[in-house]
Structure 1
Amino acid sequence: MESFRHINENRSLQFLISIGSVLFISSICYLFIDFIGYHVVALILLLMVSILAMFFKILPVVIVAVLSALIWNFLFIQPQLTFKINTPEDALLFLMYFVIAVMNAVFTTKIRKAEAQARKRKEKEKTIQLYNTLFNSLSHELKTPIAAIIGSVDTLKENSAKLSEDNTVDLYNEIEIAGNRLNRQVKNLLNMSRLESGSIHIQPNWYDINELIYNVIENNKVGENEHKIIYDSKDLPLFLFDATLIEQILHNIIHNAIQYTPRGSTIEIDAFATDNACVIKVSDNGKGFPDEYMEQVFEKFYRLPKSIAGGTGLGLSIAQGFAQAHNGKIELKNKIEGGAEFTISIPAKMTDPKHYQNE
């Protein structure tokens, strides 16, 4: 891919490849001229010009089209090894070849240019749409917690003497919840920016997956009457991966389950090792995902129709991006008994904890 980009940006290299190609093809055809005839050679050379026009800029392709016409005349049309043409039929054929080759080169490159401009317009429209979606999401996601923080602080300042201890604690809890919500959105934006710019650098180390999962559960604790998160630790090896990214993957998936399943739902986590990967499953007993939207849930800013207010649609996209940064993936399916199941597969080396010191 990098070499193709280099060729696409280097016009001199395009000239060299184009001329080299026509000389090489012409030499091969010249060796077999008695078997294929000069009419077939014309078709082969036209095909070569068409292929070059699909990839190169217009000037090298026009030049190679003219060159191919002259070579075809010189090497293949009788009398050979001259530019003379004996019959009117061959002269007309040569003229048609010349016109078709040049027109083919010009029109093909112009079509490519038009397609490139159409792609740029489409990408620009998509970018504008994404920014509008982001702006609309953030206008709610940032405004709501900021208003909660300002309102709670104003109440504490103006009525501190009148507030009971319970009311004061409730206001501080409101500030904490709103602050965490703001922090989560800022982290999501920063993580998405890192993914978009390709600046994610894996920093692998040996980690205990049990400890990592318990940390995520602790950070996502909610009232016992609202959601229940279940995980039974296992005797698993240590895995070599970037724990910060894996923890963020788990956090985003569990937070998504908490946010979009009814109160009282159960979230179950399971972890195990395969021959070359760490696999974590996160499932819930909610309503699951509509089948027609299953492939879109990992897209940036995507939120299911009629979903509850809140969220920017970045959490699952970031989780998938972090998994792919490990050359892994996240798969989603609906359980037969109801609810959704996310399967996180992260290729990783593993070792017995007893042998960790020797690694």
Structure 2
Amino acid sequence: MTAAGPIRARTDGADCLVEADETFAALQMRLGGAYPGTIALPGLLALVRKARRAGTALHAMLSVEDGDQPVSFHAAVVPLEDGATIEITQWRLSDAAWSADNGGPDMLALQRQLAQAHLVLDAEQRVIAGNVDAADLTELAAALQQGFGRYWTDLVSVEGSSHRQPLHWRLLDDAAVTVEGSARTWKTRILPLRTGGFELFLVAETVMASPAEALQAGSGDEVSQSPAQESNGAPLNGLLGQTLAPALRVPVNRIVANAETIRTRLAGPIAEPYVGYAGDIAEAGRHLLSLVEDLADLETVEDANFAPAPDHVDLADCARRAAGILGVRARERAITLQLPPSDLAAPAIGEFKRVLQILLNLVGNAIRYTRPETSVRVESGVSGALAWITVEDDGEGIGPEQAERVFEKFERLGRSGDGGSGLGLYISRKLARAMGGNLVVERGTNGGARFVLTLPADRAEAAAETASAFG
């Protein structure tokens, strides 16, 4: 989470803060310092002094407890004749600041991957910091520059609500909003922080014009229909996807959060057996949430009008993102994730969110079913008209007679008690085929399973990369 633009300050020859943006000055005072006054953050003060002594620009990642809330940022210091200039970027709330009911680090990482705008809010839902990544949110980015201290709902329009702040955050979570200057529809995801305040994500419900649409329409207009909408704007999802899933998510998240509070003894000491009971409750709650999400996805992919929105994606990049989200789980089982090199690209046409969903399922399954202290190998490339990616494990493998059964609905291949729903591979194949590709399984090199995902290759992107490499 970065502030909307760099935060700047200047010190004098005695390392006293003499000029500072409002955000920096407020942080200085919250840390017990004076303004003007000596820099109150020890790590930053040491960096400034070191830069002045060396007579050269220095930079470092620093962290601070701001009101018991962990914050990290990148600081760049440039010495002057009579002091130094400071520029702070990449302002981020540390993962430790998140409360237990946010779904843990996996959910945090996934939300960050999909969101195109992030805002940090205080306990009253006023803007503290924000970052915007989408080209059609430039007006929101500009508003953020002047919007610190304002309610975030003043910067967007919440559909179906004429109320002004303050509203309870749960009434605004998963709300549809429109943003000035963007023709797309956006959904909010509001996650409470452990020590107060919130982080807000904006995730697009509609998408920018896809390559296929652009070729057909001959224009850069945006696609007005999303996978979750019919052409008349009515939701495609039925009872579960639009009604039951959101209604279930809130109370089950609360059950998980309370169970984790008990398990970690945050509410006070308890006998050891109850720690285990609380852990069981939390794990059961997460399993129920996973099942609800799988059933909602099932309803979506089986809708006759379901159509993913094609865009430019890089299968190798998606694999690296999925591995980053699942890295903790792999380390817990001493499993090495072997990924495509950072300079390798496999350009394809597909919907980023859906491709990432498929790879999270494939890599997650590989981690679950391979033997501890082995590896999961991910490779990708482009062959003719297809871009491909493989995920291979060292598990028991899947026999030829099971190769099609594994993609059937609720098929577990005799496995039980591992937390799976038997829907992941069924949904993944449906998504792959809906995007013009396929998902198959074959025997791996070491006897494990190798899943192969193919999608239409993005020939224009591949040609551009080749020209750039030789240009």
TM-score normalised according to structure 1 size: 0.50
Match of 2:339 among 231, 234, 253: 231
Q: Which runs of 5+ in 2 are unaligned?
A: 1-248, 466-471
- State the secondary structure of the residue aligned to 2:269: coil
CA contact (8 A) 1:209 1:238 kept: yes
Alpha-carbon deviations, 1:90-148, whole Å to 9, x = none?
Answer: xxxxxxxxxxxxxxxxxxxxxxxxxxxxxxxxxxxxxxxxxxxxxxxxxxxx9xx9898
Match of 1:155 among 262, 268, 272: 262
Correspondences of 1:201-216 after superposition (within 5 Å): 201-216=307-322
CA distance in 1, matches of 2:353, 2:285: 21
Alpha-carbon deviations, 1:22-71, whole Å to 9, x = none?
Answer: xxxxxxxxxxxxxxxxxxxxxxxxxxxxxxxxxxxxxxxxxxxxxxxxxx
CA distance in 2, matches of 1:212, 1:149: 29
Residue 205 (structure 1) shift: 1.6
Q: Percent identity?
A: 23
Residue 302 (structure 1) shift: 0.5
- State the secondary structure of the residue aligned to 1:273: strand
CA contact (8 A) 2:376 2:391 kept: yes
CA contact (8 A) 2:340 2:380 kept: no
Match of 2:375 among 258, 266, 274: 266
CA contact (8 A) 1:202 1:325 kept: yes
Q: Which runs of 5+ in 1 are unaligned?
A: 1-141
Q: What is the total number of aligned residue pairs between the two structures?
A: 211
**In structure 2, what residue type is equivalent to 1:255?**
G
Residue 263 (structure 1) shift: 2.2
CA distance in 2, matches of 1:148, 1:228: 33
Higher strand share: 2
Residue 304 (structure 1) shift: 0.9
- State the secondary structure of the residue aligned to 2:454: strand
CA contact (8 A) 1:149 1:179 kept: yes
Is residue 220 of structure 1 aligned with residue 326 of structure 2?
yes
Is residue 276 of structure 1 aligned with residue 382 of structure 2?
no
CA contact (8 A) 1:225 1:263 kept: no
2:458 aligned partner? 349
CA distance in 2, matches of 1:355, 1:160: 57
Task: Point out the more displaced range, 150-159 or 330-339.
Answer: 150-159
**In structure 2, what residue type is equivalent to 1:266?**
S
2:406 aligned partner? 297
Is residue 316 of structure 1 aligned with residue 425 of structure 2?
yes
CA distance in 1, matches of 2:367, 2:427: 17
Residue 180 (structure 1) shift: 5.1
- State the secondary structure of the residue aligned to 2:408: coil
Mark the CA change 1:197 to 1:173 in structure 2 (over 3 Å): closer, same or farther: same
2:350 aligned partner? 241
Mark the CA change 1:306 to 1:313 in structure 2 (over 3 Å): closer, same or farther: closer
Higher helix share: 1
CA distance in 1, matches of 2:281, 2:314: 33
TM-score normalised according to structure 2 size: 0.39
2:193 aligned partner? none
- State the secondary structure of the residue aligned to 1:351: helix
**In structure 1, what residue type is equivalent to 2:303?**
S
Residue 277 (structure 1) shift: 1.4
Mark the CA change 1:331 to 1:194 in structure 2 (over 3 Å): closer, same or farther: same
CA distance in 1, matches of 2:314, 2:405: 32
CA distance in 1, matches of 2:260, 2:346: 48
CA contact (8 A) 2:389 2:452 kept: yes
Mark the CA change 1:242 to 1:306 in structure 2 (over 3 Å): closer, same or farther: closer
Mark the CA change 1:308 to 1:345 in structure 2 (over 3 Å): closer, same or farther: same
Mark the CA change 1:181 to 1:336 in structure 2 (over 3 Å): closer, same or farther: same
CA distance in 1, matches of 2:348, 2:405: 30
Correspondences of 1:136-147 after superposition (within 5 Å): none
- State the secondary structure of the residue aligned to 2:344: coil
CA distance in 1, matches of 2:266, 2:347: 53
2:73 aligned partner? none
Mark the CA change 1:183 to 1:228 in structure 2 (over 3 Å): closer, same or farther: farther
**In structure 1, what residue type is equivalent to 2:267?**
S
Alpha-carbon deviations, 1:158-188, whole Å to 9, x = none?
Answer: 8723379xx99x9999888666544432221
Residue 327 (structure 1) shift: 2.1
CA contact (8 A) 2:348 2:455 kept: no
Residue 240 (structure 1) shift: 2.5
CA contact (8 A) 2:362 2:391 kept: yes
CA distance in 2, matches of 1:279, 1:154: 43
CA contact (8 A) 2:348 2:456 kept: no
CA distance in 2, matches of 1:320, 1:232: 22
**In structure 1, what residue type is equivalent to 2:370?**
T
